[in-house]
A and B are shown apart, each in its own frame.
Chain A
Amino acid sequence: MSVSVFVTPVLIILLLLYCAKKKVNCYGTFANGAKGAVGLCLDVLPFLVTIFVAIQLFRISGLAEIVADYLGPVIECLGIPRELTELMIIRPFSGSGSLALAEQIFSTYGPDSYISRCASVIMGSSETIFYVATIYLSQTKAKRLLYAIPVALIATLASSIIACLLCRVM
């Protein structure tokens, strides 16, 4: 058990106490806030379907592996273990998909190996870029994202390289 499991519950308890002090109608306010989720999810759903179709096809067609094979040497040049190539490719698209790959890596190489530690840091310091961009855009009239995705990808790649370096020395 790490300290981090206490963070969220403790914050919520403090919040409730603070609300009581400020005489907020907690029950009504909570319900009213929760109502907003329905609209949000309805907006997000069509975009989720769209991106899921692409990811699913990409994985079962074996293209993900082929691309990983080609990119392997490039990734290795950058100082990231070749075994992590597929993780690096899936990570920007799918949180559950990349988590499954990380589990595979843990069970193949052991959780305390260099490769697994790199995988952990990469997972911990990156996000599902395409997923975030898709659902955030679902809320807007804007269709053109300009440089948002390339910037996020470059920043993530750079941090992954640093992650592997850090795992070597720490």
Chain B
Amino acid sequence: MRKIWFFMVLASLVTLLFIDPEDSINAMMNAGADAVSLTIRLLGIYAVWLGIIALVDASGLSGKIANLLDPVIDWLFGKTDKETKKYIALNMSANILGMGNACTPTGLKAMNGLDKQNNSTTASTAMIMLIVINATSLQLIPTTIIGLRQQYGSTASSDIILPTIISTLVSTALGIILVKICAKIHKKHQNRVKK
């Protein structure tokens, strides 16, 4: 992440030096302003979702969902406390239902919980698992894209649903398997270093 960021910025700035040096600083300022306006929009969206999630929590539903998903969560994330489990369960349900904007606040809360148990500057396997699951998309019905296709006059805007479901499942399954394998390799490697 650090390296990618560094090289992206450095290479872009050097290139811009030759084409349009004036534009580079403008672009950076615009990017900053864009990020702020996005955050403000997100603030509203997150507030609404966190409000709804608080209702889910208070009604006792989140505990029920967590119990339902308990075996899955145990297998994916190992032992975690109840509170974190609840947020992971909500994050996964929001992902599957395609409520993209509800995923982030729940995911961040779950991440917070996992971090408290981890207490290290290196991400734990559970944290990596959560990031990978969220970064490989679990959404089954791509509502935004279907809407966009309709807007452009598609005659069969939803015929992409089935391929999307298959492809999403493949990416998430592959992500989970790879994390499991990498975690094993990493553990072995660390044991060797310790010896």
Contacts and interface: CB of A to CB of B under 8 A. Distances in A.
Interface of A: 2, 4-5, 7-8, 11-12, 15-16, 18-19, 22, 24-26, 29-38, 40-41, 43-45, 48-58, 60-63, 99, 102-103, 106-107, 110-112, 116-117, 120-130, 132-149, 151-152, 154-156, 158-160, 162-163, 166-167, 170
A142 B50 CA distance: 24
A60 B16 CA distance: 8
State the main secondary structure of chain A at its contact with B: helix
Contacts of B34: 52, 56
Chain B interface residue bracket vs A: 35 or more
B81 to A, nearest CB: 16
B38 to A, nearest CB: 6
Contacts of B57: 33
A49 B146 contact: no
Contact of A134 (B1, B31, B32, B51): B1
A122 B167 CA distance: 8
Interface of B: 1, 4-5, 8-9, 11-13, 15-16, 19-20, 23-24, 27-28, 30-32, 34-36, 38-40, 42-44, 46-48, 50-61, 97-99, 104-105, 107-109, 111-112, 114-115, 118-124, 127-128, 130-132, 134-137, 139, 141-146, 148-149, 152-160, 162-164, 166-168, 170-172, 174-175, 178-179, 182, 186
A16 to B, nearest CB: 7
B182 to A, nearest CB: 4
Contact of B54 (A8, A29, A43): A29
A133 B145 contact: no
Contact of A58 (B12, B50, B56): B12
A142 B162 CA distance: 37
A91 B76 CA distance: 26
Contacts of B61: 15, 18
State the main secondary structure of chain B at its contact with A: helix
B150 to A, nearest CB: 8
A60 B176 CA distance: 35
Contacts of A61: 11-13, 15-16, 19, 24
A135 to B, nearest CB: 7
A48 B108 CA distance: 14
Contacts of A31: 51
B42 A41 contact: yes
B108 A125 contact: no
Given A33-B54, A54-B8, A127-B136, A146 B128 contact: yes
Contacts of A134: 1
Nearest to B124: A142
B115 to A, nearest CB: 4
Contact of B178 (A36, A123, A151): A151
Given A41-B39, A147-B128, A156-B171, A127 B51 contact: no
A86 B167 CA distance: 20
